[in-house]
Amino acid sequence: MNTTQVSSTGARLPQLSWFMAFKAVADKQSFTEASRELCLTQSAISQQVAKLEAVLRTKLFYRGGRQIQLTEDGKRLLLQINQPIQELMGVVDGFHNDAEHYTLHIEMEPVFSRQVISKLLPKFLAKYPKLLVGQMLTTNHFDFLPQTELAIKWGDGEWEGFDSQFLCSLDYVPVCSPEYLKRKPLTKPADLADASIIHDRDNFDWRYWLNYYPVAKLELQKCHYASESQVVMSLAMSGLGVAVCAYQQIQEELADGRLVMPFPELKVRHQRAYYILTRKNKPLSPQAHSFIQFVHEAMLE
């Protein structure tokens, strides 16, 4: 049986998946990123967009090297389909809300999950017994899978294609183990030039701290490093050297003496911060709204 749908003019109607592929490419400005979001191959995305262009008899994108730009017809189509697609997603969310359980998918930094969210979840979930929370933990990259509604990430507040809400800042300070301090007395910042330095990711945190408290002859190129802040902190506790860590995230280690601050007065408010990210132009579930409000209120306590 032929199930092809036709319009009032007799033209074949495009499949919904073709519109979704087009919208993903338009939102991401990348066929590669769109393929990741929709969990399809880049070739499949390209074919779906090509089929949509063939049915509409127009070009939707200018393709020049790695640059992807919408044509005027592409801009018009994106504007016209945004609202209908949001309404369809609202229908899906409505069924989810009526289901026995709803899973809220969140992406976040591991250290923030362990030290903040894991401690807050019991109180939050006590209000929503049918709600389940799924956490995707990422550090040096940003996945935001199709099922993900929001993310809590560390950065400068600018993520293309996402709205960001400031959540909280952190103060960075040099720390080391008590044993290391005995071996290498640090009485003034200049002493750091002879210390073993440990840094996180691209040594940005150290460079930012040194903008406020310069240390001559401190070479950040000759340092130990790890790509995850929890590992950096663990290396400092092991006595390997001195790291700059977020003061708010090392309270337990300071309290039990596993870490000490040679210069406790030399804290620097980091220019980066934690932000809550959501996709632009995509409505959130009531559960996501409730979670965001709860976390904001918790940060004020």
**Edge-to-edge order in the sheet of strand 242-246:** 131-137, 102-108, 150-155, 268-279, 162-175, 242-246, 197-200, 224-226
Distances from the Cα of 203 to the Cα of 244, 257, 262, angstroms = 10, 25, 20
- pTM for the whole thing? 0.65
The amino acid at residue 70 is L
How many Cβ atoms sit within 10 Å of the Cβ of residue 62?
A: 11
State the Cα–Cα distance between residues 24 and 37, nearest whole angstrom.
7
DSSP 140-157: S-----TT--EEEEEESS
pLDDT per position in the chain (301 positions), as tens?
344 455 555 556 778 889 989 998 998 888 888 888 888 888 999 999 999 999 999 999 988 766 788 999 999 999 888 888 777 776 666 665 555 678 999 999 988 999 899 999 999 999 988 899 999 998 878 889 888 999 999 999 999 889 999 999 999 999 999 999 999 999 999 999 999 999 987 888 999 999 999 998 898 888 898 888 889 999 999 999 999 999 999 999 999 999 999 999 999 999 999 999 999 888 899 999 999 999 999 998 7
Q: Which two tokens stand for residue 90?
A: 């609202």
Query: What sign does the dihedral 38-39-42-47 (CA atoms) show?
Result: negative
Residue found under tokens 């005995």: 182
Q: Which two tokens stand for residue 241?
A: 């050297």
Q: Which two tokens stand for residue 165?
A: 């809400």
Q: Which residues of 32-56 are buried (b: 16+ CB within 10 A; e: fewer)?
A: ebbbbbbebeeeebbebbebbbeeb
In sequence order, which ranges of the chain are alpha helices (DSSP H)? 16-28, 31-38, 42-56, 72-98, 110-112, 118-125, 178-183, 204-212, 229-237, 251-255, 286-300
State the Cα–Cα distance between residues 201 and 226, nearest whole angstrom.
6
State the Cα–Cα distance between residues 200 and 185, nearest whole angstrom.
23
Residue found under tokens 């210069």: 263
State the Cα–Cα distance between residues 190 and 188, nearest whole angstrom.
5
How many Cβ atoms sit within 10 Å of the Cβ of residue 207?
A: 12
The amino acid at residue 261 is M
pLDDT at res. 84 = 82
pLDDT at res. 301 = 74
